[in-house]
Amino acid sequence: MKILAVCRGVPETLPGKKAKTGINKRAVNGAVMIDELGLLGDAICNRKHHGGPDQAVYVEGSLTLDWWASELGRQLEPGAFGENLIIDGLDNSQAAVGDQFIAGDLVLEVTSARIPCATFAAKMGDPQFVKRYVRAGRPGIYCRVLAGGTVSGDMPVTYRPYAGERVTMPEVMATFGRRLSPRDRARYLAAPIHHKLRALIEGDAL
């Protein structure tokens, strides 16, 4: 595996929207520092729902983006889904909470799946895209930063799978907001899952 692209965004307003968003990411030439809150210089406009230590970096796998390019019938430029990193050879559907991606000094730990929203649909120019994304079952990957570092395109990436019971990205998206069975609840809570998901599962208010 290797990093295919490192992407950052600036505050912009999408057609039909009033609030600014940083979802429009573009590939960066050169090295970028990543700390516990994400890529330095990357715009995060709605901090209630985006950013923070447990979703500091948004990752897409090249295999998943290739699938979407075929599904949509067009090429996807780096940053097309609002991702920060594209990892070559990665299939989002195989990633699980607690998996780690290591590039140089940087250590990322998977915390949750992307749950699509109206801003994402507006970016894609399709009001039905949220439903389409959910049906596809290939959600993007949110990560926390266990160790910061500087990254750039073509850096090799080491994949370290979670040692416990796996909670995959498709599972996280499919069960979001739903009551889990006792066994699944225990499995989810045993993994290093996003703190907001943990609160939901435990029955606490966000």
CATH for 151? 2.40.33.20
Residue type, 195: H
Host H or E run for residue 102: strand 100-103
Residue type, 96: A
Secondary structure (3-state) at 76: coil
The number of folded domains in the chain is 1
Structure tokens at 186: 């225990």
Rounded Cα distance, 195 and 54, in Å: 7
Q: Where are the alpha helices (DSSP H) in the chain?
A: 62-72, 118-124, 129-136, 169-175, 182-190, 195-202
- pLDDT means per 10 residues, the chain with 206 residues, are 94 77 89 95 75 93 97 94 97 97 98 92 90 95 98 97 97 93 95 95 67
**Predicted structure pTM score:** 0.92
> What does the pLDDT read at residue 23?
85
Rounded Cα distance, 122 and 163, in Å: 38
> What does the pLDDT read at residue 45?
61
For residue 103, give its domain range.
3-202
CB 3 within 8 A of CB 12: no
Residue type, 157: V
